[in-house]
Amino acid sequence: MIIKKKTNWFGMLFEWNGSVLPQLLPRLFILFLYTIAIVYFRDTLLGYHLYINPAIFTLFGIALAIFLGFRNTVSYDRFWEGRKLWGALLNDTRSLARQSHTLIDGLDYHKQRTQFILLLIALVHALKHQLRKTNADSDMNRLLVNSLDKKMQTAVYKPIIILKELGLWVNTAKKEGKLDSITQVAFDENLNKLSDIIGGCERIASTPIPYTYSVLLHRTVYIYCFLLPFGFGESMLWTLPFVTVFIAYTFVALEAIADELEDPFGIEPNDLALNAMSEMIENTLLELDNKQIEPIKLAKYYYIT
């Protein structure tokens, strides 16, 4: 994810990194050449009455803008829900780490507390890898004991397996007399919240916007853009390619932004910074376990991660 401080109004006009313009340039260039060809053969086309009343584009453009606005709203809702789920993941893992230190009696339980917190950190990284469909072995190797690490290599839903281990840890502490039934219920409530968060993230990742809707909107946008020169070719000459590309950029860019935000857990420039958020959660949990950590540099949040 790219997070930047906004520059002045003039600098924003030439902003490149984080914009969808780089991926749109080839398409816009093709449209530019296409419009030049139509302008060049303008008289021939008009001779065959190949022109369209511009009023049609005005009415249809308004309707298309409304549909694109709806598409972007739906995509941003998915993005924002994903961000809220990861914010809740931060809060609930902190609560569990704090409870492991303040609600369990006995200073001799330090090693077990550290194991519990490492399980929490492993769950965060496992969820990140599951959502991005990447390999979690490196994070599992450094955070889990050998026996559990081997189990993770064959597990499909790694966060849920780790969640079960967290529940077993709480149950073992109860059997050893380190916490009572009421305290166990408090742990279970937060573990249930983690389960809800994992399920919410899986729901977003596994339920994309219906494909037929995306195809319909995609086709409509491009047909509209490629018909534009026929609507204004009669009244405009060599300014038409620039006007057409500018109008097309607005519609095509809105569609491209909606496509990026549809999957908030991906690795596109405007998706959620799961690497940075996972690292931040790891650091705050280690600090709760009285470990010395390096301050997180804000610069880490200013690049794609």
pTM of the model: 0.86
Q: Is residue 103 part of a domain?
A: yes
Supply angle C-alpha 9, 13, 14, rounded to 5. 125
User: What 3-state class would DSSP assign to 291?
Assistant: coil
Q: Which of 289, 277, 300 is nearest to 88 (CA)?
A: 277
Please enumerate in sequence order all residues whose Cβ is within 8 A of that of 62, keeping only pairs 6 or more positions apart, or say none. Answer: none
Asked whether the predicted pLDDT for residue 10 surpasses 70, the reply is no
Number of domains in the chain: 1
**Number of CB atoms found within 10 A of residue 109's CB:** 17
Mean pLDDT of the chain: 87
Provide DSSP, 166-235: HHHHHHHHHHTTSS-HHHHHHHHHHHHHHHHHHHHHHHHHH-PSPHHHHHHHHHHHHHHHHHHHHHHTTT
pLDDT value at residue 304: 41
Q: Is residue 44 part of a domain?
A: yes
Q: Flag the least confident range among 108-112, 194-198, 239-243, 280-284.
A: 108-112
In the numeric block, which tokens belong to residue 75?
């995509």
Q: Which of 34, 177, 50, 160 is nearest to 105 (CA)?
A: 177
Q: Is residue 2 part of a domain?
A: no
Which domain range does residue 40 map to? 24-302
Q: Is residue 9 part of a domain?
A: no
Q: Is residue 10 part of a domain?
A: no
Q: Is residue 193 part of a domain?
A: yes
Asked whether the predicted pLDDT for residue 269 surpasses 70, the reply is yes
pLDDT value at residue 185: 94
pLDDT value at residue 73: 92
Q: Is residue 167 part of a domain?
A: yes
Q: Is residue 291 part of a domain?
A: yes
As a whole number of angstroms, the longest Cα–Cα distance in the chain is: 93
pLDDT value at residue 303: 40
Confidence of residue 264 (pLDDT cuts 50, 70, 90): very high
